[in-house]
């Protein structure tokens, strides 16, 4: 019987099935990367809903898993060398799961390097920029009168969308074959709708990206991952 009691987080979010991978998440663009990957790779897992409220993400139990107070995070009871492994940062989780299963990372060293490249493009560019645009357009930052932050993020978002659109010319997926890079990128493109920033970024003009997102959303594993963990 696997014992995860060494992980403080399990006191607040108890593991019903400690022998399978434990997911601590909320269905945001970063959170769904983990659930979609788990679904796509066919890894059994137990989802735990950790909301973005300070009472959850900043609780001592969750901070013991991720000192950076952000979802998603996982505990794999069957980590390297058979020891449990706790992990946070969606990009690190995607790479870990892909390496562990040998799925969605590419077959050759060149494929893997390209998948990693586009994953990092999302982690360091597309996600943070679209997220900040959402903040300055829809959330608290929308009240700031100085137009410069909003303009900065609108322009950067437009530029990055053009990069994605160009890369998708003549191919279905960002790095050639479907991969963890798509699982990282597509949920952020979908989030433009939630943030109300489609029009301001000229989303509809990016025909390849629009078709790409539709293609992504048709996948059954994506549809399941997008609503996992289920919200109360
Ligand atoms: N770089 C992190 C970002 C994760 C992130 O920003 N998570 C947000 C939800 S999308 C969060 O947990 N926010 C809660 C908070 O900041 O208090 C990753 O990719 O895992």
Identify each DSSP E strand in 104-151 by its residue range: none
**CA atoms of 52 and 28, how far apart (whole Å):** 10
Cα 1 to ligand 1 centre (Å): 32
Measuring CA to CA, which residue among 104, 26, 128 is closest to residue 72?
26
Residue 25: strand, helix, or coil: strand
CA distance 213 to 173: 10
The answer to whether residues 225 and 97 touch, using CB atoms and an 8 Å cutoff, is no
Q: How many CB atoms within 10 Å of residue 157?
A: 27
Best CA proximity match to 213, nearest among 177, 180, 158, 173: 173
pLDDT tens figures, 107-134: 999 999 999 999 999 999 999 999 999 9
**Which atom of ligand 1 has the smallest separation from the CA of 50?**
12
- Which of 82, 60, 63, 59 has the alpha carbon at shortest distance from 73? 63
**Closest C-alpha residue for ligand 1 atom 1:** 89
- With a 6 Å cutoff on the Cβ, whether 227 touches ligand 1 is no
User: Looking at ligand 1, which residue's alpha carbon is closest to its atom 16?
Assistant: 70
Residue nearest to atom 5 of ligand 1 (CA): 70
In 62-190, DSSP assigns E strands to 73-76, 85-88
pLDDT, tens digit (0-9, with 9 covering 90-100), for 199-226: 999 999 999 999 999 999 999 999 999 9
Residue 67 Cα to ligand 1 middle (Å): 12
At 89-107, the pLDDT tens digits run 999 999 999 999 999 999 9
Mean pLDDT of the chain: 96
Q: Are strands 21-25 and 73-76 parallel, antiparallel or unpaired?
A: antiparallel
CA 169–ligand 1 middle distance (angstroms): 31
Give me the mean pLDDT over the 136-151 stretch: 87
**In DSSP terms, which residues pair with 24 in a beta bridge?**
48, 73
Token pair belonging to 207: 């025909």
- The number of the ligand 1 atom at minimal distance from the alpha carbon of 58 is 17
Residue 181 pLDDT level (bands cut at 50, 70, 90): very high
Q: Is 70 in the pocket of ligand 1 (CB under 6 A)?
A: yes
| pLDDT score at 80 | 95
In angstroms, what CA-CA distances link 122 with 118, 150, 163, 196, 215? Answer: 6, 20, 11, 20, 18
The finding on whether 172 has its CB within 6 A of some atom of ligand 1 is no
């Amino acid at each position: 019987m696997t014992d995860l009691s060494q992980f403080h987080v399990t006191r607040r979010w108890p593991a019903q099935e400690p022998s399978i991978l434990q997911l601590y998440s909320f269905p945001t663009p970063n959170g769904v990367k983990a659930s979609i990957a788990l679904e796509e790779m066919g890894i059994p897992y137990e989802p735990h809903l950790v909301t973005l409220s300070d009472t959850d993400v900043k609780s001592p139990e969750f901070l013991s898993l991720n000192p950076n107070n952000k979802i998603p995070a996982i505990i794999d009871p069957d980590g390297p060398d058979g020891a449990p492994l706790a992990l946070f940062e969606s990009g690190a989780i995607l790479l870990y799961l892909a390496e562990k299963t040998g799925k969605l990372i590419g077959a050759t060293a060149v494929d893997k390097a390209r998948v990693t490249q586009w994953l990092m493009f999302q982690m360091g560019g597309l996600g943070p920029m679209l997220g900040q645009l959402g903040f300055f357009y829809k959330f608290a930052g929308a009240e700031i009168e100085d137009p410069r932050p909003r303009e900065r993020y609108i322009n950067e978002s437009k530029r990055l969308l053009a990069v994605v659109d160009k890369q998708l010319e003549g191919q279905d997926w960002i790095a050639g074959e479907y991969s963890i890079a798509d699982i990282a990128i597509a949920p952020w493109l979908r989030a433009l709708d939630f943030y109300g920033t489609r029009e301001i970024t000229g989303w509809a003009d990016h025909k390849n990206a629009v078709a790409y997102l539709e293609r992504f959303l048709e996948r059954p594993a994506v549809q399941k991952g997008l609503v996992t963990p289920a919200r109360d």
